[in-house]
């Protein structure tokens, strides 16, 4: 780890003095820092320049990393959207969390949070912050207990449904619990909002960013928590099936002349557009004079996809890691994580601390001076981010379980990683990540003691929940209810031969 020890108390005292004597907004004097949590969707560990990407340009995120701290061993909550975001919001791993997988509306609401669940936004509300979510929620729809406004967010704008969020040119978005109409005209669009447009006018990401920036402008003078759950560069899976290109973006920008197929130009342009808007956001913080009082985290909810007909062999979105979205190899779950807080985080630092999405809960509790509720799998990484003089606690292990494709489990302990496929009953493979980040050499046979240890950890971490069952590894790995929805759409929507290979719909 490349760290510089700093006198944290002195630094905090001097910063507080600065807040009280300059023209910072009023809340700065209260010592309550703001948090902006930016989440990309299906962005890989190798998709950013600061993580080794060679072809896609991300100058603003590279600058953010250069001005802050870049984590090299930070993990998502899961290998697909809903469970990963659920871990992020509630601070438990997938072995005993309520939402352990993606699931359709017909599933009886198992993908939604419920009354009584506590989220990061609740913690901020308890500390008297303004809270807002712009982008994709995916953990509860209109009228449900898990709706974002019932989960601690004062304001919501974007997509509640994950399938709706596939569509970058929908006829509507959601503002709190009402439809916000856009000017796009649908070619195909179901009642959930999934589909694709024939007249593309309003690009949802641009609308969401503009609304988020407006909210920031209006709320900049009080302590705030902004959860910016952007949808780039997730594919529009329905458009993939309908048109062969799920990488929807208004223009290909600097990639327009590249000798690449359109889905690859689109993939690159989506990531560069995301990067552009992070630049706009950070510029606003400076303009408003709240840069030094705002902690910004950037990450992605899971590993990269191949769902829009883009070619992962071109960009190598997982960098040196094996596997993609839906895998529990590192490529499915190890994600970029950048923290920026001018004056607090020394610029250009790299951290090898092993953390994961569930740690945000304890971090936010510490940031706002609140007690961590019991029963969570959450360790604050604020000592690591802020200074390095305070002792940073570590996890004994990190754990994931995933119910699709026959099911799989994984555990990270020390430098080792174990994976069990199929779930519960399969053979365990073991990797030494310090020597083999690409997980190419299974060393389980030489280390029966570590295999036994990993087995004990997996068995301890998993708590049975009848709502979640392993989906069989057949030719079609989706549940019967998902197959039903998918077949209904196949009857009414055209498909291209290439697109038929794409199985995922959520």
Cβ neighbours for 425, distance < 8 A, ≥ 6 positions apart: none
Among 39, 76, 81, 365, binds Ca ion (CB under 5 A): 81
32-40, 54-62, 74-82, 128-136 -> range binding Ca ion (CB under 5 A): 74-82
Cis? peptide before 382, omega within 30° of 0: no
CB of residue 36 to Ca ion, shortest distance in Å: 19
CB of residue 234 to Ca ion, shortest distance in Å: 6
Binding to Ca ion, residues 182-241 (CB under 5 A): none
- What is the SS3 string spanning 442-501? CCHHHCHHHHHHHHHHHHHHCCCCCCCCCCCCCCCCCCHHHHHHHHHHHHHCCCCCCHHH
**What's the rounded Cα separation, in Å, for the pair 233 and 247?**
7
**What's the rounded Cα separation, in Å, for the pair 428 and 212?**
45
Indicate the residue among 209 and 230 with the shorter CB distance to Ca ion: 230
Chain centroid, CA 425 distance in Å: 29
Question: Which residue's CB atom is positioned nearest to Ca ion?
Answer: 81
Question: Is residue 301 close enough to count as binding Ca ion by CB under 5 A?
Answer: yes
Binding to Ca ion, residues 31-50 (CB under 5 A): 41-42
Indicate the residue among 304 and 388 with the shorter CB distance to Ca ion: 304
DSSP one-letter code for 216: H
Angle between helix 204-219 and helix 262-287 axes, rounded to 10 deg: 10
CB of residue 335 to Ca ion, shortest distance in Å: 10
Among 302, 327, 380, 489, binds Ca ion (CB under 5 A): 302
2-10, 77-85, 140-148, 429-437 -> range binding Ca ion (CB under 5 A): 77-85
Indicate the residue among 367 and 482 with the shorter CB distance to Ca ion: 482
CB of residue 83 to Ca ion, shortest distance in Å: 10
CB of residue 372 to Ca ion, shortest distance in Å: 27
Helix, strand, or coil here: 369? coil
C-beta of residue 300 within 8 angstroms of C-beta of residue 39:
yes
Question: Is residue 504 close enough to count as binding Ca ion by CB under 5 A?
Answer: no
CB of residue 482 to Ca ion, shortest distance in Å: 17
Strands 130-136 and 155-159: parallel
CB of residue 361 to Ca ion, shortest distance in Å: 20
Q: DSSP for 234-279?
A: ---HHHHHHHS-----S--GGGTTSSS-HHHHHHHHHHHHHHHHHH
Indicate the residue among 29 and 110 with the shorter CB distance to Ca ion: 110
Indicate the residue among 41 and 404 with the shorter CB distance to Ca ion: 41
Question: Which residues of the chain form contacts with Ca ion (CB under 5 A)?
Answer: 41-42, 81, 301-302
């Amino acid at each position: 780890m490349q760290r510089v020890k700093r006198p944290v108390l002195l630094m905090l005292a001097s910063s507080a003095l600065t807040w009280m004597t300059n023209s910072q907004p009023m809340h700065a004097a209260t010592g309550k820092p703001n948090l902006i949590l930016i989440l990309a969707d299906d962005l890989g560990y190798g998709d950013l320049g600061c993580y080794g990407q060679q072809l896609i340009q991300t100058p603003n995120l590279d600058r953010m990393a250069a001005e802050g701290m870049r984590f090299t061993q930070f993990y998502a909550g899961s290998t697909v959207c809903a469970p990963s975001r659920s871990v992020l919001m509630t601070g438990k791993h997938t072995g005993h969390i309520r939402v352990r997988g993606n699931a359709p509306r017909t599933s009886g609401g198992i993908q939604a949070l419920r009354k009584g669940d506590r989220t990061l936004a609740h913690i901020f509300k308890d500390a008297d912050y303004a809270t807002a979510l712009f982008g994709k929620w995916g953990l509860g729809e209109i009228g449900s207990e898990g709706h974002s406004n019932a989960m601690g967010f004062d304001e919501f704008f974007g997509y509640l449904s994950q399938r709706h969020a596939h569509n970058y040119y929908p006829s509507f978005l959601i503002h709190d619990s009402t439809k916000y109409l856009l000017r796009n005209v649908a070619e195909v669009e179901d009642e959930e909002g999934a589909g694709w447009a024939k007249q593309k006018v309003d690009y949802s990401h641009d609308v969401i960013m503009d609304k988020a920036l407006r909210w920031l402008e209006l709320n900049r003078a009080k302590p705030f928590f902004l959860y910016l759950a952007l949808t780039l560069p997730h594919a529009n899976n329905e458009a993939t099936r309908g048109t062969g290109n799920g990488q929807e973006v208004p223009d290909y920008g600097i990639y327009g002349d590249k000798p690449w197929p359109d889905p690859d130009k689109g993939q690159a342009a989506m990531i560069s557009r995301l990067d552009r808007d992070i630049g706009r956001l950070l510029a606003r913080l400076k303009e408003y004079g709240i840069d030094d009082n705002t902690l910004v985290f950037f990450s992605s909810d899971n590993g990269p996809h191949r769902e829009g007909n883009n070619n992962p062999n071109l960009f190598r979105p997982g960098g040196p890691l094996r596997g993609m979205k839906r895998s529990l190899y590192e490529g499915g779950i190890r994600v970029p994580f950048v923290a920026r807080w001018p004056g607090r985080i020394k610029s250009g630092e790299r951290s090898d601390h092993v953390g994961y999405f569930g740690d945000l809960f304890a971090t936010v509790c510490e940031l706002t001076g609140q007690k961590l509720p019991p029963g969570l799998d959450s360790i604050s990484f604020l000592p690591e981010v802020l200074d390095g003089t305070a002792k940073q606690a570590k996890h004994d292990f990190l754990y994931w379980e995933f119910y699709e494709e026959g099911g799989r489990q994984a555990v990270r302990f020390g430098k080792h990683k174990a994976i069990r496929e199929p779930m519960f009953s399969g053979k365990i493979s073991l990797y030494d990540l310090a020597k083999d980040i690409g997980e190419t050499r299974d060393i389980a046979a030489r280390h029966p003691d570590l295999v036994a240890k990993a087995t004990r950890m997996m068995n301890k971490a998993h708590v049975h929940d009848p709502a979640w069952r392993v989906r069989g590894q057949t030719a079609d790995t989706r549940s019967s209810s998902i197959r039903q929805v998918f077949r209904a759409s196949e009857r009414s929507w055209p498909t291209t031969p290439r697109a038929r290979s794409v199985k995922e719909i959520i």
